[in-house]
Amino acid sequence: MSFTSEVKNEVSKLNHERLEMIAELSAILKNSANIDKTISITTENASVARYVFSSIKDLYNISSKISVRNGYNYTKNYIYVIELTKKIDDIKKDLSLDTNIPKNFIIDDDITKRAYLRGLFISCGSVNDPKKSRYHLEFFVDNFDYANFIKDLLNEYYLNSKVLKRDNKYMIYVKEAEKIGDFLRMMNAINALFYFEDIRIYRDHKNMTNRLNNCEQANVDKVIATATNQVNDINIIKEAGGLDLLSDKDKVAAMYRLKYPESSLLELSEIISMETNETLTKSGLYHRFNRIKALASKIKEKQI
């Protein structure tokens, strides 16, 4: 079972008050129902089908007809179709299905707004399993104005959602892991939230460790490259018989670099300070090697 299905299973089993049920059903029927003289709701999730069936029965005292079909090309799970033939006008009016954007009474307060977004996710939402891919929450709807309405509704909760046109549909999406976690929390999908956050924390920790390792390796590579260049400069001066052109302090730096060719500047400055009983900072050692490098460059120019 996919992570999306697990989330839908969880939120479809929550207990809600009447106004929440109305808001949820409004979103579900808006995005997954064929509405004409009858209403036909299609879903691949058995738990969602049971929830829609029981909610309609509780709200309108109607026993819907449920039929089960094979999935497309017989490769998917069963498809559940709930058909309503009674009180169609009442349902359309109560759930604000006769307008493109739901009327204010459907999403009158924070509780009903959250319920509407739950219904939206149940009907046309999906979220990637954080174990398998990048973080991604999305909803597909048919209408541009409705897509922007959903975007604005999501962004009331600071989810930073955006709209993108895909073929003849519109996708509202959220990509930030923290925002997706907030959405799961907002829907009260607690089990899914714990799973998501556990994986997110693990991945963030792993990524941080990899970055630190890469940074450490880059620093090691930089130390080795710097030390190698300094050894090469000293050897150029030495082969040209130019060591006497160096000051006594620079000769000390050159001698210790040849003795400790893999040490960093900081390590080498500490070694020299300890063995000569004269304090030498990393900065001071850096300037000595700059003078050595300048002399080596002059010697190379003359040889050319």
Q: Is the pTM of this model over 0.75?
A: no
- Is the pLDDT reported for residue 304 higher than 90? no
Q: How far is CA 288 from CA 26, 166, 257, in A?
A: 76, 63, 11
| Residue of 60, 196, 61 lying closest to 137 (CA atoms) | 196
- Compute the distance between CA of residue 23 and CA of residue 142 in angstroms, rounded to an integer: 19
Same domain, 38 and 166: yes
Same domain, 145 and 41: yes
201 found inside a domain: no
- Compute the distance between CA of residue 145 and CA of residue 215 in angstroms, rounded to an integer: 47
Q: What pLDDT sits at residue 202?
A: 81
Q: What value does the mean pLDDT take over residues 96-116?
A: 92
206 found inside a domain: no
Q: How far is CA 219 from CA 212, 224, 295, in A?
A: 10, 9, 27
- Is the pLDDT reported for residue 213 higher than 80? no
Same domain, 164 and 242: no
| Residue of 180, 161, 133 lying closest to 7 (CA atoms) | 180
CA max distance for the chain:
105
Same domain, 31 and 179: yes
**What is the total count of domains within the chain?**
2
Q: What is the pLDDT of residues 150-204, one digit of tens each?
A: 999 999 999 999 999 988 899 999 999 899 999 999 999 999 999 988 888 887 7
195 found inside a domain: no
Same domain, 137 and 271: no
Burial letters for 239-255: b for 16+ Cβ neighbours within 10 Å, e otherwise? Answer: ebeeeeebeebbbbbbe
Same domain, 273 and 153: no
- Compute the distance between CA of residue 272 and CA of residue 279 in angstroms, rounded to an integer: 8
Percent of the chain with pLDDT strictly greater than 70: 97
Same domain, 166 and 254: no
Same domain, 235 and 87: no
50 found inside a domain: yes
205 found inside a domain: no
Domain end call among 152, 173, 188: 188
100 found inside a domain: yes
194 found inside a domain: no
207 found inside a domain: no
Domain end call among 188, 207, 236: 188
Domain with residue 140: its CATH number is 3.10.28.10
List the domain range (segments joined by +) for residue 284: 216-303
Same domain, 132 and 179: yes
- Compute the distance between CA of residue 246 and CA of residue 257 in angstroms, rounded to an integer: 14
Q: What value does the mean pLDDT take over residues 47-58?
A: 90
- Compute the distance between CA of residue 3 and CA of residue 180 in angstroms, rounded to an integer: 13
Domain end call among 150, 170, 188: 188
Would you call 34 helix, strand, or coil by DSSP? strand
Same domain, 122 and 236: no
Q: What is the pLDDT of residues 27-40, one digit of tens each?
A: 999 998 888 888 99
Same domain, 64 and 152: yes
Same domain, 235 and 165: no
Q: What value does the mean pLDDT take over residues 78-90?
A: 89
